[in-house]
Amino acid sequence: MEPGGEPNIQQMLQQAQRMQEQLMNLQRELAETEVDGSSGGGLVTATVNGQSELVKLVIDPAAIDAADPQETAETIADLVLAAIHAAGEEAQRLQETKMGPLTEGLSGLGGGLPGGLGLPEL
C-alpha cells in the first residue's frame, strides 16, 4: 500500500505475474516428476507423473497363473486398479506439498496475509 491507504496497482500486477510464473514452473515440475504406487506386494507397479497421468505400468510375471487365466485376469485387473489408485494418492500428496506455499499466498489476496498480494479487505 502507498501512504494514504491506497493499494499500488502496479505492485499488485507485478506480484500476480510472479505468482503466475511460479505456478507455471510448478506445473512443469509436476509434469516431469514421477511417483510410484504398487499393489499385491509389488506384483503391479503404476507410475504416474505429478499431474496424476499414468506413464508406466509394470506387471510382474509372477502375477500370472497360466493354469487359471480367468482368475488371473480378474486378479491382475484388481491389482492394476489398486496400484494406479496408490500412485494417484502419492501424486496428490506431491501436488499438495509443491503447491501449498503458492496457494497459501493466494489465500492472502483478500486480507493482506503474509505472502499475499496485500489487497485490502473486500
User: What CATH code is carried by the domain that includes residue 45?
Assistant: 3.30.1310.10
Q: Is residue 113 part of a domain?
A: no
- pLDDT for 68-119, tens place per residue? 999 999 999 999 999 999 999 999 998 888 887 776 666 555 444 344 444 3
Q: Is residue 73 part of a domain?
A: yes
Predicted structure pTM score: 0.67
How far is the C-alpha of 110 from the C-alpha of 93, rounded, in Å?
A: 27
Task: Name the domain count of the chain.
Answer: 1
Q: Is residue 29 part of a domain?
A: yes
- Backbone phi and psi for residue 75, each to the nearest 5 degrees, phi listed first: -65, -45
Q: Is residue 92 part of a domain?
A: yes
Are the C-beta atoms of 50 and 98 separated by less than 8 Å?
Answer: yes
Which residues span the domain enclosing 16? 9-107
How far is the C-alpha of 99 from the C-alpha of 33, rounded, in Å?
A: 14
Which of the 8 DSSP states describes residue 45?
E
Q: Taking the alpha carbons of 20, 101, 26, 94 in that order, is the dihedral positive or negative?
A: negative
Q: Is residue 33 part of a domain?
A: yes
Are the C-beta atoms of 36 and 47 separated by less than 8 Å?
Answer: yes
